[in-house]
Amino acid sequence: MWPAFSLNRPMPWVALSAFSASLWLPGIPLRLAAAVLVVLGLLDAWRQVRLVHQRARLGEEALSLSEEGVIITDAANRIEAVNPAFTRITGYTLDEVRGISASSLAAPRHDKAFFERYWQALWTTGGWQGEIWSRRKQGDEYPEWLRVRAVHDEAGRITHHVCLFTDISVHKARERDLQRIGFEDPLTGLPNRRRLHDLLASRLRHLRAGESLDMALIDIDGFKEINDGIGVELGDRLLSHFGQRLARHAAGGVVGRLGGDEFMVIRTTTQSDHDTWIKGLQHHLGQPFEIDRHSLRLGLTIGSCRSPEDGREADVLFQRLESALFGAKRNGRNHSLRFRPALDVQDSPQLGLLNDLRNALAIGGQLELHFQPQYRLEDDSLAGLEALLRWRHPRDGMISPGDFIPLAERHGLMSTLGDWVIDQALAQLAHWQKTGMPEAMVWINISAMQLFQGDLETALATGLARHRVPARLLGLELTESVLLDERAGDIAPRLERLRRQGHQVAIDDFGTGYSSLGYLKHLPLDKLKLDRAFIQALPDDRADASIVCAVLAMARGLELEVIAEGVETEAQRDFLFAQGCAQVQGFFYARPLPAARLEAQWREQASGSRSAQGRRLAEASA
């Protein structure tokens, strides 16, 4: 960093020569001149010494400011110097550690072989770095990242070791937290679905002769009503108490929470008392829970199975547990049902599709968005695009949304699916902005599950920030059933916040639900979307025509835009235009297309437009 200190400079040599010559120089003037040279040489040497001291002080200041601990040891590894960060991390001062071996600060977690490898690397390569555990003055142990370098003299002998270390206990704690988040339910502290799958697979591998696994999937009946009655905070506390009671009852087994109000329990047994065990679970968990002056008895629906009789693979057993629970729910509540082959025959197509959908979400590459353009009737210009979710199954081809969307809603996957749609729609908008494609608002469908299971606002805000897309380009379509679903709570303030952020909000499939027109007065909406059911028979069906005219008149009074979907004929378009409908969407204009094909169409249209403009200019100049 700095040049090495040396007095081998011209002035000191001149001063030394002048001093020697002054002894035999004949005249006083010559001796005075020699004295001046001696003084100048001494001043130069003193300046060099002062510069060295200054650099030493700067080095000490730099070490004192370092967040890394520094230890300097001699060749025998005895500590000679430390910096303030060392004292801050370990609690030891220099006086307490001077002269002792640096190895004595290590925690007794490392064996002899570890230190043999450490010294071997240091001697052969001149350095070592890695993770090591040390002990503070208070006695607690902590992990640190240590870097060591050997310092050699001119003869190549090691004279000192310089050690730099960083306390990584916070980093290790963060790693543990991330691992816990990945494998642990945050509310109850129990294993989550992923961890349960691993634990079940492990128990299956270690089953011995004569042993079996009993498994039960437990669903709390009517938990939504309980949650609404006592509040979300007490509802969470109830779930936590439920998990604790179940874990105590199944001591020695595995207990986990799959999500929502579903819990799973696994036990290894040599007994053939599966039904008795299930009854014991129902009895024990059916005792009252005391939650903040509320005494609650819970109804439980349980699906169960047993290995190896009902399967030997974790995936198969999970599917059969869900099949048994689903069958129990179909037959009523507050009872149990053990898996039987008839259930597997009945439900295996859906369960197989469910498993494939989970894989599609986990692996990626199968789900895609298609975009159907929306047009303004006054000039047939592009008004927007509706993003429609499609699933291209690697074996079965395109899967209808009517097949997999209800399955996702029933098994708690809609929040994940909805977040995927939000992110992909915003990513596509960002791509179109960068490539100069026409700017058009994209509308996405929002399900009830996203509103009361997921965190819609966070997903939107995160996606907009990541892709740097303005909120005005992403519209939100909600069905009437979402607006009337009590589970979503008071939705008006949430919609108002979304509109203030820049999103437009539309009611999809308007007129098909059991709607109350009173909602339209106080809900913050921008657009109504007329369902295709009222468009198909236009203009000949008088009833549909009357409904469409009434909705258009009402929307004008409420200052809401209207878009009609399912427009397939010129007659339907002309009727809607005559009645004042501003926008339409349907096969008459365009079918839903993948983004790549839509971009190709836009480029073609842009190229054709430029060619036509060029011809007109040529004709005009001629």
Q: For the domain that residue 165 is a member of, what is the CATH number?
A: 3.30.450.20
Do 400 and 425 belong to one domain? yes
More confident residue, 28 or 470: 470
In the prediction, which pLDDT does 622 show?
47
Average pLDDT estimate for 474-502: 75
CATH assignment at residue 260: 3.30.70.270
In the prediction, which pLDDT does 453 show?
58
- 527 part of a folded domain: yes
Do 527 and 583 belong to one domain? yes
- 620 part of a folded domain: no
Enclosing domain of residue 493: 363-606
In the prediction, which pLDDT does 346 show?
46
The answer to whether 473 and 495 have CB atoms below 8 angstroms apart is: no
- The contacts of residue 301 (CB under 8 Å, 6+ apart) are 218, 219, 221, 325, 328, 329, 333, 334, 335, 336
> Which of 459-473, 496-510, 566-580 has the lowest average pLDDT?
496-510
Measure CA 504 to chain center: 26
> Which of 231-235, 243-247, 434-438, 614-618 has the lowest average pLDDT?
614-618
H-helix or E-strand containing 266?
A: strand 262-269
Do 446 and 538 belong to one domain? yes
- 615 part of a folded domain: no
In the prediction, which pLDDT does 33 show?
73
> Which of 12-16, 301-305, 312-316, 444-448 has the lowest average pLDDT?
12-16
In 486-580, DSSP assigns E strands to 505-510, 527-530, 561-565
Enter the DSSP assignment of 259.
E
Do 501 and 599 belong to one domain? yes
CATH assignment at residue 540: 3.20.20.450
Cβ neighbour number for residue 224 with a 10 Å cutoff: 15
Do 220 and 334 belong to one domain? yes
pTM for the model: 0.48
Tokens encoding 108 = 């007794």
In the prediction, which pLDDT does 610 show?
53
- CA-to-CA dists, residue 600 to 372, 440, 578, angstroms: 14, 16, 33
Do 467 and 578 belong to one domain? yes
Average pLDDT estimate for 432-456: 81
By three-state DSSP, how is residue 119 classified?
helix
> Which of 21-30, 386-395, 424-433 has the lowest average pLDDT?
21-30
Distance (Å, whole) CA 302 – CA 286 = 12
- 519 part of a folded domain: yes
- 1 part of a folded domain: no
**Tens digit of pLDDT for each residue in 571-587?**
999 999 999 999 999 99
Among 22, 37, 64, the domain boundary falls at 64
Residue 564 pLDDT grade (very low, low, confident, very high; cuts 50, 70, 90): very high
In the prediction, which pLDDT does 478 show?
85
The answer to whether 347 and 326 have CB atoms below 8 angstroms apart is: yes
* DSSP per-residue letters across 277-326: HHHHHHHHHTS-EEETTEEE---EEEEEEEETTT-SSHHHHHHHHHHHHH
* Residue 555: HSE in the Cβ half-sphere, 13 Å Cα cutoff: 25
Do 379 and 414 belong to one domain? yes
**Tens digit of pLDDT for each residue in 179-188?**
666 678 878 8
- 208 part of a folded domain: yes
Enter the DSSP assignment of 78.
B
> Which of 47-61, 162-176, 454-468, 550-564 has the lowest average pLDDT?
47-61
Tokens encoding 208 = 């011995």
Do 424 and 284 belong to one domain? no
Q: What backbone phi and psi angles, to 5 degrees, belong to 457?
A: -60, -40
The answer to whether 93 and 87 have CB atoms below 8 angstroms apart is: yes
Among 276, 304, 339, the domain boundary falls at 339
- 39 part of a folded domain: yes
Do 369 and 237 belong to one domain? no
Residue 391 pLDDT grade (very low, low, confident, very high; cuts 50, 70, 90): very high
**Tens digit of pLDDT for each residue in 97-120?**
999 999 889 998 888 888 989 999
The answer to whether 286 and 300 have CB atoms below 8 angstroms apart is: yes
Helix, strand, coil percentages, rounded to 5, for the chain: 50, 25, 25
More confident residue, 527 or 407: 527
Do 519 and 532 belong to one domain? yes
Residue 488 pLDDT grade (very low, low, confident, very high; cuts 50, 70, 90): very low
The answer to whether 369 and 389 have CB atoms below 8 angstroms apart is: yes
Residue 5, pLDDT > 50, answer no
The answer to whether 254 and 191 have CB atoms below 8 angstroms apart is: yes
Average pLDDT estimate for 554-564: 89
Do 57 and 70 belong to one domain? no
Do 267 and 391 belong to one domain? no
Residue 485 pLDDT grade (very low, low, confident, very high; cuts 50, 70, 90): low
At 459, which amino acid appears? Answer: A
Residue 178 pLDDT grade (very low, low, confident, very high; cuts 50, 70, 90): low
In the prediction, which pLDDT does 416 show?
84
How many structural domains is the chain composed of? 4
In the prediction, which pLDDT does 189 show?
86
- 503 part of a folded domain: yes
Among 137, 172, 207, the domain boundary falls at 172
The region that residue 559 occupies, defined by phi over 0 for left and psi between -120 and 50 for alpha, beta otherwise, is left
Burial class (CB within 10 angstroms; exposed 0-12, middle 13-18, buried 19+) of 167: buried
The answer to whether 325 and 303 have CB atoms below 8 angstroms apart is: yes
Average pLDDT estimate for 483-498: 68
Tokens encoding 134 = 């040390």
